[in-house]
Amino acid sequence: MLFGALSGSSVAAASAIGGCMSPIEKEQKYDPAYAAAANIASAPTGLLIPPTSAFIVYSTVAGGVSISTLFMAGYVPGILMGVVCMIVAFIGAKKLGIKAVGRDKSVGILKIFVDAIPSLLLIIIVIGGIVSGIFTATEGAGIAVLYCLILSIIYKSMNFKTFVEILKKSAKVSGVILFLISASSAMSFVMAYSGIPAAISNGLLSISTNKVCLLYTSPSPRD
């Protein structure tokens, strides 16, 4: 949940957490299918929990929807989805007879909590700054990146070569997002100018005004 919220990508969350957890799960002889299902099912929760880039992209495409409102609206469903995933994973683990692995007794809980504070402060800084009006959501994204960069330097988890690779990957991802935004904006303009949405709506309403009939006659994503 936290990694998906920070990265803003369910694919990145599933890949990163899966890469870290897979060796441990194999060592503990977990069911690979169950472990993969739990990882994949919980990864999308990060798209709902701020700070996530999905809301920023949606606000840009939708044409001025308040990003702070989207952020605040994403908390409850995101946390609920995460809690449900935890409950389902717990019940499934009990049915499969999977035993919990005890934590390392040599490391105290207080030390773990203190070490995690700098990383957890990112969520408080970004969301607090956006809600209080100190900076916008776009500026918050830049501050989040800068904060992560500072932490990486402090923890010595990134060198110059890694930094260059991150820049290359970021450029590729940003290019894809900019292309999608440009294409969707052009498509929205064309459809609005030609009156296609209104024509579709009038056509459906001319068939029936019954809610059930409209539900079945409306185009679905799989169509």
Q: What is the DSSP string of 63-91?
A: TS--HHHHHHHHHHHHHHHHHHHHHHHHH
* pTM of this prediction exceeds 0.85: no
In 3D, which of 42, 25, 1, 30 has the Cα closest to residue 93? 30
> Looking at residue 221, what is its pLDDT?
42
> Looking at residue 44, what is its pLDDT?
80
Each residue's pLDDT tens digit in the chain (223 positions)?
666 666 666 776 777 777 777 787 788 788 888 888 888 888 887 777 776 667 777 776 666 677 777 777 777 888 888 888 889 888 888 888 877 665 556 566 777 777 778 887 887 887 788 777 787 767 777 888 888 888 888 888 778 888 888 888 878 877 887 887 788 778 877 877 787 777 877 777 777 777 777 666 665 444 4
Gyration radius from the chain CA atoms: 22
64: left (phi over 0), alpha (psi -120 to 50) or beta: left
